[in-house]
Structure 1
Amino acid sequence: MTRVVLLGAPPGPISPPPLGGQPALPADITLQSLPGAPSAYDRLLAQAAALDPEPTTIARPGDAAAYQRPYGRVVQSRDVAGDLRALADAVEGAEENLLILPADSLVHDELIYQITKAKRGAIALVVRQQREEVDENAPPAEETEEVPIEEAEPEIGEKVIEGLPQRTRIGRSRIVSVGTAYHAVTRPNAALLGPLHLHQRHLPTLAEVARELADMAHLFGPEDDVTELLVLGLIRRGVSVGRRGRRDLFFRRIRSQAEADEALAEMAGYNEDRARLNNAVKGADGFFTTFFVSTYSRFIARWAARRGLTPNQVTLISIALGLLSAGAFATGTRWGAVAGAVLIYFAFVFDCVDGQVARYARKFGVLGAWLDATFDRFKEYAVFVGLAVGATVSGQFGDGEGVWTLALVAVALQSVKHLLDFSFGAANRRKAPVPLPTLDLTVADDRPLREALEQRRASRNTGVRGLLKLWTKAGKFRLVHWARKMIVFPIGERFAAIAITAAFFNPRVTFLTLIVWGGIAATYTLTGRLLRSLA
């Protein structure tokens, strides 16, 4: 379960008044185009209740009555300091993860799901500063050279994005610094939209910084958002806060009925189901899987999920196709080899589909994960046996002893590679991350924090660690990216190699391909594991 806290007091004005006049409470804004025409608050509360049966709403005393519902809890707070203390009390001793949402949020269910299922221990939703478009017909303006960030002066950001102050500096994967009306930030390039998700291990830190920030509330402005303050505190306590954008999903904070009507019209243009389906496909798949399977397997997954098929049932289909493939290879005939190649390809397709069904239908289980991991190897080794039996039956290789030897070598090589992968993964999870620098909350200037980050980065770019960093950066080139994906010989490439070589050549060529490519993959993987262990 995830503990959910809704923030009922939006930040004060920093941008022009909302469409339709003065800001309205989410409980008074009607979403007229949605079934039942719920209020914005009732819709968000229902979304929150799917995660937490008793979500907490923090609201001003004069607004508390508007937020009262048969379920959920309303906590009254007079100001930002009270909001922070109420939030600290709400998470004290919590053993669940935490999701914070502004009560004026209009958001897709799928976006909430993706934020709460992110692997990061802390993640915030951001909107990035848009680059200004250049009018080619306009007269040339005076050129101004942007000062390098290491020479830039921290500032109190006055720019606005979607009614929120642009006081956040984001990097490639995480938030680097946050500003307030008191805290200056070096070259802000984004704004925090409001949603924040934290793993339970960070909640004691959150409670601590929330109380410290509450004591500093007299330094903040009315435009400073609670989420903004919390992210500031977490970063200055050395917590790595990841950032993500809305991507192909919708989120908007609405302040009036006119804004809600406009947002609903915009939201209708998004295909939430398509985004959910795309999210069901793993983003780190290999070349063959990405271009020859996932382009259509997601639609099979949706079809299966809508007809009630479970991921385990799809796994059983994949196992059956794998065994049929092994049987076809065992006939030792050319048509048997072609049929086996087709069957092993579709066995792999359904091996991908079972995970996609699980992610699309959100049906996860320990049994399914075990079946998927175990029977991937079972199918693969069964096919090895089928190929060796087929080589013996065909008589093309005498008594087949040489082919059986190659099959045993292929099995041994693949087993060792899997052992290395799983053992390194287990050991790497126990490795403590390098801590991030910290900075006292009373320091208004973020330069000490950025200087410490630069020193940390410089120290991590030397020796073996620097070599690995360069190899990681090389992945931005598309050719290198896919070459690295293929060289490790993932299961998609292995099944493709088996299907192609068995259909067009013979089992000996298949096993030699598996051994040579598998040997290169094992050498590459072992070298990388050793370097990362020494870094």
Structure 2
Amino acid sequence: MPRVVLLGSSPSPDAATGQSTPPAALTLPALPGCPTVIGKLHGQLASLDPAPVTIARSGDAAVYRGLPGRLVETSDLAGDLRAVADAVENATENLLILPANSLIHDELIYQITKSKRGALALITKEPREEDENGDAIVPNVPIDEAQPEIGDRMLEGLPVRVRVRRSRVISVGSAYHGVTRPNSVLLGPLHLHHKHAATLAEAARELADMAHLLGPEDDLLQLLVLGLVRRGVSVGIRGRRDLFFRRVTTPEQAAEAVAEMATFNEDKARLSNAVKGADGFFTTYFVSTYSRYIARWAARRGLTPNQVTLISIALGVASALCFATGERAGMVAGGILIYFAFVFDCVDGQVARYARKFGVLGAWLDATFDRFKEYVVFAGLAVGAAVSGVGDVWTLALIALGLQSVKHLLDFSFGAANRRKPPSPLPSLALSISPDTGLRTALEQRKLARSGGIRSLLRMWGKAGKYRAVHWARKMIVFPIGERFAAIAIVGALFDARITFITLIIWGGIGSAYSLTGRLMRSLA
């Protein structure tokens, strides 16, 4: 479970004027029980950390007393930063750091805390400037020639002093630290792997020592990310997407936020999140379009993922028995049953993600019996071929089985080796240096050093994925499980076992060759 740190003293839109209301004193009368903002947040976080650390200014501390966890009182920004350092430096669990005045969906908390990134922050990008025709206005000065700036533009009450690119934070600024062409703000929360806790503590203490250079508008969470980025930590980004997050500082803002929050369908977002985002073509368009609703129905009636897995196994065995008859009606029935066996194979994972019921046994059952269903169907097809007089296809069955086994081995071994491979280090820059020019230059040099040769080919192939046809072609060529089950179902129902195995061997051989080539290129890059 993550250790939670609440930033009760995080600067707010009214921090400079001192007109903000402590979140513990902000009530939400539109919600059942009329909770306070901080009370609602504590309820949401109780399953993650029943005793969070709250950092608040002494003048606001009275309203935080009596809440679960530990309260740390501070007097200024330097004290805030040192309190964060003390709270996180010895962490042995992942950290979730967020402003105490946050109104947030449970599902968004869940998605952020389940991220596999070493660090992940919630951001929102500044809307792009457009001309009267709605076309984006391109800056006259290229970014390579642009100068770092101390941004004074505001977005959602926070200064726009963050530059993000693709999937991570590139640079963060403050009243002292300049950023080249900032385009975003960090909303919070920040989820951090405990391996970076010592780095965050060290950076926070250094920032505390230079707090006299910072301004009242500087956001505490944004400063923490500044310290991480300047020390070479890769901080990933995500937006709110179809979920809600807002910081509130006044009763009016709280009322508006609650009303806006009610317009979001959190259950729909949770259901969408239950579906894997990187599935193959067949799974995406012919299964997941409706399997999610079966998953929700099953979860609401108390079915566990393991029970759904057993249904999938039973359908797979029934399919093999139908194929073993060798009759056309049996082949058609086998094709239909193997399709629904795969549907329920998808449903079990979707139930686990929707109901948040995960277990080692379930993961083992899912991985093991996926192979079992596939291989028992191979046996059923071979038996059916012998019964119907098609001939002995056991050799073809063994070749198809061998190809899939080799492919599974390649995928597993490469994944295991990749997890052991240390990530390429990012450049760092001292916090005492104001402009981020050195950081930007180092990133460009790193990009040049990583270009050329095999890396260049891989990058070109990666960029080609932005075209939809290429994206789905790459997905299908590797012959994922959805396409394999679809090939068995369709070819088996329309033709015979021999044609089915030849299809599996040809497509499986192409997929294995493609996967092996890609693995070798990535290993040598």
TM-score normalised to structure 1 length: 0.96
Asked whether the equivalents of residues 13 and 249 of structure 2 are also in contact (C-alpha less than 8 Å), the reply is no
Match of 2:54 in 1: 57
Give the 3-state SS of the residue equivalent to 2:434 in structure 1. Answer: coil
Give the 3-state SS of the residue equivalent to 1:57 in structure 2. Answer: strand
Deviations 1:212-247 (A, max 9, x none): 111111110001111111111111111000011000
Asked whether the equivalents of residues 12 and 222 of structure 1 are also in contact (C-alpha less than 8 Å), the reply is no
Deviations 1:447-474 (A, max 9, x none): 1000000010111111111111111111
Asked whether the equivalents of residues 16 and 216 of structure 2 are also in contact (C-alpha less than 8 Å), the reply is no
Q: Give, in angstroms, the shift of residue 136 of structure 1.
A: 4.9
User: Is 1:377 matched with 2:374?
Assistant: no
Q: Which runs of 5+ in 2 are unaligned?
A: none
Asked whether the equivalents of residues 170 and 190 of structure 1 are also in contact (C-alpha less than 8 Å), the reply is yes
Q: What letter is aligned with 2:499?
A: V
Asked whether the equivalents of residues 280 and 475 of structure 2 are also in contact (C-alpha less than 8 Å), the reply is yes
Between the two proteins, the alignment pairs up a number of residues equal to 524
Map 1:347-426; keep pairs closer than 5 Å: 347-395=341-389, 397=390, 400-401=391-392, 403-426=393-416
User: Is 1:8 matched with 2:8?
Assistant: yes
- RMSD across aligned positions (CA): 1.6
Q: What letter is aligned with 2:433?
A: V
Match of 1:44 in 2: 41
Distance in 2 (CA, whole Å) between partners of 1:442 and 1:254 is 32
Q: Give, in angstroms, the shift of residue 32 of structure 1.
A: 1.2
Distance in 2 (CA, whole Å) between partners of 1:134 and 1:460 is 37
Deviations 1:317-355 (A, max 9, x none): 000000000000001110100100000000000000000
Match of 2:487 in 1: 497
Match of 2:72 in 1: 75
Map 1:186-335; keep pairs closer than 5 Å: 186-335=180-329
Distance in 2 (CA, whole Å) between partners of 1:11 and 1:185 is 20
Q: Give, in angstroms, the shift of residue 12 of structure 1.
A: 5.3
Match of 1:526 in 2: 516
Match of 2:330 in 1: 336
Distance in 2 (CA, whole Å) between partners of 1:16 and 1:233 is 23
Q: Give, in angstroms, the shift of residue 135 of structure 1.
A: 4.0
Asked whether the equivalents of residues 12 and 157 of structure 2 are also in contact (C-alpha less than 8 Å), the reply is no
Give the 3-state SS of the residue equivalent to 1:100 in structure 2. Answer: strand
Distance in 2 (CA, whole Å) between partners of 1:468 and 1:437 is 23
Q: What letter is aligned with 1:28?
A: A
Match of 1:517 in 2: 507
Q: What letter is aligned with 2:270?
A: R
Q: Which runs of 5+ in 1 are unaligned?
A: none
- Could you say if the C-alpha distance between residues 13 and 315 of structure 1 is closer, same or farther in structure 2, counting changes exceeding 3 Å? closer
Map 1:92-131; keep pairs closer than 5 Å: 92-131=89-128
Give the 3-state SS of the residue equivalent to 2:349 in structure 1. Answer: helix
Q: Give, in angstroms, the shift of residue 133 of structure 1.
A: 4.9
Asked whether the equivalents of residues 244 and 264 of structure 2 are also in contact (C-alpha less than 8 Å), the reply is yes
Distance in 1 (CA, whole Å) between partners of 2:521 and 2:505 is 24
**Percent of matched pairs sharing the same residue:** 71
Extract structure 1 runs of 4+ deviating beyond 2 A: 12-17, 131-137, 143-146
Q: What letter is aligned with 1:285?
A: D
Give the 3-state SS of the residue equivalent to 2:350 in structure 1. Answer: helix
Distance in 2 (CA, whole Å) between partners of 1:289 and 1:92 is 44
Deviations 1:454-496 (A, max 9, x none): 0101111111111111111111111110000000000000000
Q: What letter is aligned with 2:59?
A: G
Asked whether the equivalents of residues 15 and 160 of structure 1 are also in contact (C-alpha less than 8 Å), the reply is no
Asked whether the equivalents of residues 51 and 69 of structure 2 are also in contact (C-alpha less than 8 Å), the reply is yes
Give the 3-state SS of the residue equivalent to 2:351 in structure 1. Answer: helix
Q: What letter is aligned with 1:319?
A: I
Distance in 2 (CA, whole Å) between partners of 1:478 and 1:144 is 26
Asked whether the equivalents of residues 15 and 163 of structure 1 are also in contact (C-alpha less than 8 Å), the reply is no
Give the 3-state SS of the residue equivalent to 2:440 in structure 1. Answer: helix
Distance in 2 (CA, whole Å) between partners of 1:53 and 1:234 is 27
Deviations 1:243-273 (A, max 9, x none): 1100000000011111111111111100000
Distance in 2 (CA, whole Å) between partners of 1:28 and 1:36 is 15
Asked whether the equivalents of residues 400 and 504 of structure 2 are also in contact (C-alpha less than 8 Å), the reply is yes
User: Is 1:507 matched with 2:497?
Assistant: yes
Distance in 2 (CA, whole Å) between partners of 1:344 and 1:236 is 53
Q: Give, in angstroms, the shift of residue 132 of structure 1.
A: 3.7
User: Is 1:435 matched with 2:429?
Assistant: no
Distance in 2 (CA, whole Å) between partners of 1:12 and 1:103 is 11
Q: Give, in angstroms, the shift of residue 15 of structure 1.
A: 9.3
User: Is 1:486 matched with 2:480?
Assistant: no
Asked whether the equivalents of residues 56 and 74 of structure 1 are also in contact (C-alpha less than 8 Å), the reply is yes
Which of 340, 346, 352 is equivalent to 1:346?
Answer: 340
Match of 2:159 in 1: 165
Give the 3-state SS of the residue equivalent to 1:152 in structure 2. Answer: coil
TM-score normalised to structure 2 length: 0.98
Q: What letter is aligned with 2:492?
A: A
Distance in 2 (CA, whole Å) between partners of 1:454 and 1:317 is 53
Q: What letter is aligned with 2:517?
A: T
Q: What letter is aligned with 1:474?
A: A
Asked whether the equivalents of residues 122 and 241 of structure 1 are also in contact (C-alpha less than 8 Å), the reply is yes
Q: What letter is aligned with 1:160?
A: M
Distance in 2 (CA, whole Å) between partners of 1:428 and 1:230 is 29
Q: Give, in angstroms, the shift of residue 22 of structure 1.
A: 3.1
Distance in 1 (CA, whole Å) between partners of 2:16 and 2:483 is 56
Deviations 1:371-393 (A, max 9, x none): 10010000000000000000111
Q: What letter is aligned with 1:236?
A: R
Distance in 2 (CA, whole Å) between partners of 1:354 and 1:389 is 29
Deviations 1:475-521 (A, max 9, x none): 11111100000000000000000000001111111000000000000
Distance in 2 (CA, whole Å) between partners of 1:134 and 1:484 is 38
Match of 2:83 in 1: 86
User: Is 1:457 matched with 2:454?
Assistant: no
Q: What letter is aligned with 2:126?
A: Q
Distance in 2 (CA, whole Å) between partners of 1:135 and 1:458 is 38
Give the 3-state SS of the residue equivalent to 1:227 in structure 2. Answer: helix
Asked whether the equivalents of residues 125 and 243 of structure 1 are also in contact (C-alpha less than 8 Å), the reply is yes
Distance in 2 (CA, whole Å) between partners of 1:69 and 1:114 is 29
Distance in 2 (CA, whole Å) between partners of 1:101 and 1:148 is 35
